Amino acid sequence: MARQAGKWSLRTLGVTVVAVVLGAVLLAALPGRTGAGATGNPARQQPVPPGRGGLAIRPTTVAPGGSPSASHPSAVSSKRRSLPSRPTDGTGLTIVGDSLTDGPRMWIEEALPAAVIRAKGYEKWAWGMAQLPELRAEGRLRPTLAFLMGTNFGVTNTDVDNLIAAAPEARTFILMTVHVPARFRQIYGAQTNAVVTSAAARHPEVTIKVEDWNAYATAHPHLLGPDGIHPTPQGAAPLAQLLRATVYDLPVHSGSGG
């Protein structure tokens, strides 16, 4: 009986081994299986969660206070919108002047480094007009023209008319009131300032702005030299900043000490 039981045990073991082998073969042969637990059929693959796999998606990050960080697109676009819409360094600006431009030239160049400057002391309006063809030929006559003449013997309405006609490429003109001692004010100073301040009304076809140096110098006499006309070194920087403020419609700050 013991020998008979042993035969049955061997037979049972053999059947079990064969069943296991056949099961493994059938399991491997099932469609959609490439290995233990690996799915090879693309139609049965689970969708890849966003931000994983081959496409990296940067999540929105929020800085302290609840605003998007610089890495978020809305923060970048906000920064771009906050940039100045135009430069205020003298780009597109030509300056023609007399000693009130030539003397403070260093300060004007610092305030408006991209501007073209043509200036010479003791010159009259006619000298400035003669510079326009030369500047045009050099390609240096720009859309904004600051024509800061008139301190030497004044300016008339006809002078302004001729200036507008002589610079058709200029869309904006900057004119300057003059500040002279009382004896010159009676001769030509008051008339010059009246011409300059009324020029915009007389020429609506262009933009004319007024650098009111007379009002500024009157309010800050300590910025003038002994002649009562030219600015001291302490007044040169405020004059340059006044010009820049006039060109770009910026606030005018008071001079040092007053």
> Rounded to whole angstroms, what are the CA distances from 220 to 152, 235, 253?
21, 9, 12
Residue 88 CB-density burial (10 A; 0-12 exposed, 13-18 middle, 19+ buried): middle
Greater confidence (74 vs 239) lies with: 239
> Rounded to whole angstroms, what are the CA distances from 150 to 25, 141, 193, 257?
107, 20, 9, 28
Q: Is the pLDDT at 4 greater than 60, yes or no?
A: no
DSSP 60-101: P-B-TTSPBPTTSHHHHHHHHHHS-SS--SSTTEEEEESHHH
Tokens of 96: 């023609």
Domains of the chain from N-terminus onward? 93-248 (3.40.50.1110)
186-226 pLDDT per residue, tens: 999 999 999 999 999 999 999 999 999 999 999 999 999 99
For residue 167, how many other CB atoms are within 10 A of its CB?
A: 22
116: β partners: 94
Q: Which of 54-68, 111-125, 168-182 has the lowest mean pLDDT?
A: 54-68
pLDDT of residue 253: 75
Q: Is the pLDDT at 64 greater than 90, yes or no?
A: no
Instruction: Give the helix/strand (H/E) hosting 129.
Output: helix 125-137
Whole-angstrom distance, CA of residue 87 vs CA of residue 248? 9
Greater confidence (245 vs 41) lies with: 245
Q: Which of 66-75, 139-148, 199-208 has the lowest mean pLDDT?
A: 66-75
Residue 41 CB-density burial (10 A; 0-12 exposed, 13-18 middle, 19+ buried): exposed
pLDDT of residue 255: 55
What's the pTM value of the predicted model, to 2 decimals?
0.67
Percent of the chain with pLDDT over 90: 64
3-state secondary structure of 176: strand
Mean pLDDT computed over 68-77: 37
CB–CB of 214/179 below 8 Å? yes
Greater confidence (252 vs 2) lies with: 252
Indicate the pLDDT class of residue 11, thresholds 50, 70 and 90. Answer: low
Greater confidence (147 vs 8) lies with: 147
Q: Is the pLDDT at 19 greater than 80, yes or no?
A: no
Residue 185 CB-density burial (10 A; 0-12 exposed, 13-18 middle, 19+ buried): middle
pLDDT of residue 170: 97
Quote the mean pLDDT of the chain. Answer: 78
pLDDT of residue 66: 40
Q: Is the pLDDT at 37 greater than 90, yes or no?
A: no
Residue entry with tokens 């009002």: 215
209: β partners: 174
Q: Is the pLDDT at 85 greater than 90, yes or no?
A: no
